Amino acid sequence: MTHVEILKKHNLKATPQRLSILNTLEMYGHVTLEEIEKYTKVNFPTLSLSTIYRNINEMIKKNVVSEVKITNSKDYFEINKEKHAHLICKECGKIEDFKIDTQDIVKNIQSLTNDKIIDATLNFEVICKECLSGK
Amino acid sequence: MTHVEILKKHNLKATPQRLSILNTLEMYGHVTLEEIEKYTKVNFPTLSLSTIYRNINEMIKKNVVSEVKITNSKDYFEINKEKHAHLICKECGKIEDFKIDTQDIVKNIQSLTNDKIIDATLNFEVICKECLSGK
DNA sequence: GTGTCTGCAAATTATTTGCACGTTG
DNA sequence: CAACGTGCAAATAATTTGCAGACAC
């Protein structure tokens, strides 16, 4: 689905500002607010910070974008895709998506509590292969 | 270990301010900054916000306290204990500690990536037993 | 054309800092 | 008593909001 289609599907007008924000998210995968500002302004110098805030919040509310919170670091944002976990390199800080079925984990864990587990947010601290190989 | 001992062990002087913050964390388990301010000031009305900020940050740096980041909610703080996961009730918002060995999960997952997995931060969205039973 | 969106400036909220004084070990 | 910690006020940073004009559909 194109970004235009995604926006329309969620009753958001496909403005150039929104498209450029989504484009930045697409290109960089996981970005902080300042990074969105920095990278997006390269191609869209007149974009204002308040528009970024308004749109990120709006798109989060509509489930187009989601927030990735990582201990001891800033908040990141990503385009909403299939559910996945994150691998966060302790050394270089890179964040990678990690496609595992979180429901598998949920099933394994469910027997350990009386609460009904609905879903899981999983962040793994890693040393990524590049850092491991000393690159 | 008492709070005084914990602080000394980390080269932090055991001031009444720090002890009262730790006491609030102990009593409530997981608290936001505003909650720390609110609850702590009941017994310590002169405590200043900047002292709370300074000490929370200091204690995080020294691993006395840790930050709990949950998608779509404020940051919480807790006293550092054995590694554990969190169960977050979608309905009432309550956060419970969930004592599972995160290393077990790490082991199960390690074969799926070439990154070296060091540790895991696990948050489970749940409906807690109280909400389930309609209380 | 109408309702939504944007940029700007101003308001509000959150966090940090400098400094003079108090306290801990 | 020396180093460290605190409160206060001021500085800075982060986020939100009101409004007038612009744009998407």
- Distance in angstroms (rounded) separating the CA atoms of residues A48 and A7: 20
From B55, B79, B103, the end of a domain falls on B79
The answer to whether residues A50 and A109 belong to one domain is no
- The more confident residue out of B104 and A87 is A87
| A46 CB less than 7 Å from any atom of strand C | yes
From A38, A59, A79, the end of a domain falls on A79
The answer to whether residues A70 and A98 belong to one domain is no
Per-residue pLDDT tens over the stretch B64-96: 999 999 999 999 999 999 999 999 999 999 999
Per-residue pLDDT tens over the stretch A53-97: 999 999 999 999 999 999 999 999 999 999 999 999 999 999 999
The answer to whether residues A15 and A72 belong to one domain is yes
Contact A14, A4 (CB under 8 A): yes
- Picking from A57, A98, A126 by the largest number of B CB atoms within 10 A of its own CB, the best residue to mutate is A126
Q: How big is the A-B interface in CB pairs under 8 Å?
A: 103
At A86 the pLDDT is 98
At B103 the pLDDT is 92
> What value does the mean pLDDT of chain B take?
96
Per-residue pLDDT tens over the stretch B9-23: 999 999 999 999 999
CATH classification of the domain holding B19: 1.10.10.10
Question: How many whole angstroms from its chain centre is CA A101?
Answer: 17
The answer to whether residues B22 and B46 belong to one domain is yes
Total structural domains within chain B: 2
The answer to whether residues B7 and B62 belong to one domain is yes
- Distance in angstroms (rounded) separating the CA atoms of residues B30 and A125: 22
The answer to whether residues A42 and A11 belong to one domain is yes
Per-residue pLDDT tens over the stretch A10-40: 999 999 999 999 999 999 999 999 999 999 9
The answer to whether residues A104 and A126 belong to one domain is yes
The answer to whether residues B72 and B111 belong to one domain is no
- How far, in Å, is the CA of A42 from the C1' of nucleotide D24? 24
- Distance in angstroms (rounded) separating the CA atoms of residues A71 and B119: 12
The answer to whether residues A72 and A11 belong to one domain is yes
At B134 the pLDDT is 84
Q: What is the pTM of this model?
A: 0.95
Question: How many whole angstroms from its chain centre is CA A25?
Answer: 8
The answer to whether residues A24 and A72 belong to one domain is yes
The answer to whether residues B94 and B118 belong to one domain is yes
From B61, B79, B97, the end of a domain falls on B79
At A93 the pLDDT is 94
Does position A135 have pLDDT exceeding 80, yes or no?
Answer: no
Helix (H, G, I), strand (E, B) or coil at A65: strand
At B52 the pLDDT is 98
Other beta carbons within 10 Å of B39: 18
> Which domain, by its residues, includes B30?
3-79
| pLDDT band, residue B62 (cuts 50/70/90) | very high
The answer to whether residues A127 and A111 belong to one domain is yes
CATH classification of the domain holding B94: 3.30.1490.190
As ranges, strand D nucleotides with an atom below 7 A of a protein CB are 4-10, 15-18, 23-25
At A134 the pLDDT is 85
B105 touches chain A (CB under 8 A): yes
Share of chain B above pLDDT 70, in %: 99
Residues of chain A in contact with residue B104, where contact means CB-CB under 8 angstroms, are none
Other beta carbons within 10 Å of A52: 20
SS3 of chain B: CCHHHHHHHCCCCCCHHHHHHHHHHHHHCCECHHHHHHHHHHHCCCCCHHHHHHHHHHHHHCCCEEEECCCCCCCEEEECCCCCEEEEECCCCCEEEECCCHHHHHHHHHCCCCCEEEEEEEEEEEECHHHHCCC
